[in-house]
């Protein structure tokens, strides 16, 4: 194989991840194969094996990429001096958009992968790591809001973050299982936001 520049390599990886995203959206996690990803990417199998050992590695890279988008979202808003309250509101309200097309999103595959990994220590570690990083990111955001005098939370900050995270997953899982209309998902998001603002004692 020819030696690729770092930039070229990153381009290839993004190309693989984009193809994988399409495949996982279409087929879910279990039914997607490396062959599907190879075909979607229009690359030879060899190119893909250069960067990823198997389907699991591709999927994990995809999730880390999505998490990076959350981190970038927070960083961008911060660099625009947006208040923590506004950022948190934007983050939670953003789920309404996700819910609009949740059936065709990557979420069914994420939950499939997640749940099939409960009995697998490696997958468990991956998700634990991810959970702790997200708790940290949002805890930091809230602490900054406290320092700026925006919030005076009545309970520990980490508890609030954990409530947000399990509530969001509850709404997403129910939307997928029963449909966004059946569960009144938008209203549930609004109530979650209201609940969070109460817990933070938004001033």
Binding site for a copy of itself (CB under 8 A): 28, 30, 108, 111-112, 114-116, 118-119, 124, 127-128, 131-132, 155, 158-159, 162-163, 165-171, 173-174, 176-179, 182-184, 187-188, 191, 195, 199
CB-nearer residue toward a copy of itself: 17 or 189: 189
**Contact status, residue 169 vs residue 189, Cβ threshold 8 Å:** no
Would you say the C-alpha torsion 53, 56, 58, 60 has a positive or negative sign? negative
CB-nearer residue toward a copy of itself: 89 or 195: 195
Q: In whole angstroms, how close is the CB of 31 to a copy of itself at the nearest point?
A: 8
Angle between helices 157-178 and 121-147 (to 10 degrees): 120
DSSP output for 99-145: HHTGGGSSHHHHHHHHHHTTT-HHHHHHHHHHHHHHHHHHHHHHHHH
Q: In whole angstroms, how close is the CB of 137 to a copy of itself at the nearest point?
A: 16
Q: In whole angstroms, how close is the CB of 67 to a copy of itself at the nearest point?
A: 15
CB-nearer residue toward a copy of itself: 96 or 162: 162
**Contact status, residue 74 vs residue 87, Cβ threshold 8 Å:** yes
Q: In whole angstroms, how close is the CB of 185 to a copy of itself at the nearest point?
A: 8
Unique residue bearing structure tokens 């381009």? 11
CB-nearer residue toward a copy of itself: 16 or 23: 23
């Amino acid at each position: 194989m020819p030696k690729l520049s770092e930039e070229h390599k990153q381009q290839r990886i993004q190309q693989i991840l984009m193809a994988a995203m399409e495949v996982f959206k279409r087929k879910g996690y279990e039914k997607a194969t490396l062959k599907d990803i190879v075909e979607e990417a229009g690359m030879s199998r060899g190119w893909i094996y250069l960067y990823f050992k198997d389907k699991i590695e591709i999927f994990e890279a995809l999730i880390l990429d999505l998490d990076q988008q959350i981190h970038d979202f927070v960083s961008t808003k911060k660099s625009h001096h947006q208040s923590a309250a506004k950022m948190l509101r934007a983050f939670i309200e953003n789920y309404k958009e996700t819910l609009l097309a949740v059936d065709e999103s990557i979420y069914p595959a994420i939950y499939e992968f997640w749940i099939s990994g409960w009995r697998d220590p490696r997958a468990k570690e991956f998700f634990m790591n991810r959970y702790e990083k997200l708790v940290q990111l949002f805890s930091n955001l809230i602490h900054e809001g406290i320092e700026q005098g925006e919030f005076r939370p009545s309970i520990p900050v980490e508890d609030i973050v954990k409530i947000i995270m399990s509530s969001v997953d509850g709404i997403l899982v129910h939307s997928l299982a029963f449909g966004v209309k059946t569960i009144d998902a938008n209203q549930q998001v609004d109530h979650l936001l209201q609940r969070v603002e109460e817990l933070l004692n938004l001033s």
